């Protein structure tokens, strides 16, 4: 027997679950990481480590980067960077639960932005989901009265930038052809 080989669909499902788990765990690590120090120092270490790991993994592909790819990377990286900044600062002033929920609203902002910016049709059920999510957001952030705490506002900005990041990745994924 050649060994166990998981079907591609199951592999992607496992990777999606693993990514979701890392995403969920990251809030606790970030909260601890910024408890005793400035958020920008934490982000500096976080992105330096990520850069090092990705350079090691993709070392051979680094030489394939051209000006067009680099500019696309900057355009994609800017909303990602801003989203991380807003999320990390916001996490200092709100709970992990609020951060995870409000950040997750980026998934609902994506179709809204696609409709508003690109005039793409959005199905009615998506609008219903958006309404339910916004109702949930309202109930979470206003439980102590009709005010938002500063951390929640930072996290809402984070969700906007993460939605912009996803749309930017989608835009450039159709424009760039990166050799393997």
Domain parsing of the chain, residue ranges: 40-176
Long-range CB contacts for residues 102-106, cutoff 8 Å, separation at least 24: 102/137, 102/140, 102/141, 102/152, 102/155, 102/156, 102/158, 102/159, 103/155, 103/158, 103/159, 103/162, 104/159, 105/133, 105/134, 105/137, 105/156, 105/159, 106/158, 106/159, 106/160, 106/162, 106/163, 106/166
More confident of the two residues 130 and 142 = 130
pLDDT band at 3 (very low <50, low <70, confident <90, very high): low
Residue 105 makes CB contacts below 8 A (sequence gap 6+) with: 133, 134, 137, 156, 159
pLDDT band at 11 (very low <50, low <70, confident <90, very high): confident
What is the per-residue pLDDT for 79? 97
Whether the per-residue pLDDT at 124 is higher than 70: the answer is yes
Query: How many Å apart are CA 35 and CA 31, to the nearest integer?
Result: 6
Whether the per-residue pLDDT at 144 is higher than 70: the answer is no
What is the per-residue pLDDT for 5? 76
What is the per-residue pLDDT for 178? 65
pTM above 0.85, yes or no: no
More confident of the two residues 24 and 178 = 24
Whether the per-residue pLDDT at 6 is higher than 60: the answer is yes
CA nearest to 166, candidates 114, 95, 90, 98: 114
- Taking all residues of the chain, what is their mean pLDDT, rounded to a whole number? 86
Q: Mean pLDDT check: name the lowest of 78-92, 106-120, 133-147, 158-172.
A: 133-147
What is the per-residue pLDDT for 163? 95
């Amino acid at each position: 027997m050649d060994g166990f080989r998981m079907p591609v669909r199951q592999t992607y499902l496992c990777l999606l679950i693993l990514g979701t788990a890392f995403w969920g765990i990251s809030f606790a690590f970030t909260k601890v990481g910024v408890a005793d120090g400035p958020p920008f120092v934490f982000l500096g270490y976080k992105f330096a480590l990520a850069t090092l790991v990705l350079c090691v993994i993709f070392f051979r592909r680094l030489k394939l980067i051209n000006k067009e790819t680099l500019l696309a990377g900057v355009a994609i990286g800017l909303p990602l960077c801003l989203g991380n900044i807003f999320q990390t600062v916001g996490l200092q002033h709100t709970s992990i639960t609020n951060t995870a929920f409000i950040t997750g609203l980026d998934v609902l902002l994506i179709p809204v932005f696609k409709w508003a910016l690109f005039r793409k049709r959005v199905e009615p059920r998506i609008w219903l989901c958006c309404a339910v999510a916004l109702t949930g957001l309202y109930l979470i952030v206003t439980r102590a009265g009709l005010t938002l705490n500063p951390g929640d506002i930072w996290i809402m900005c984070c969700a906007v930038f993460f939605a912009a990041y996803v749309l930017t990745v989608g835009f450039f994924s159709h424009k760039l052809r990166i050799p393997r």
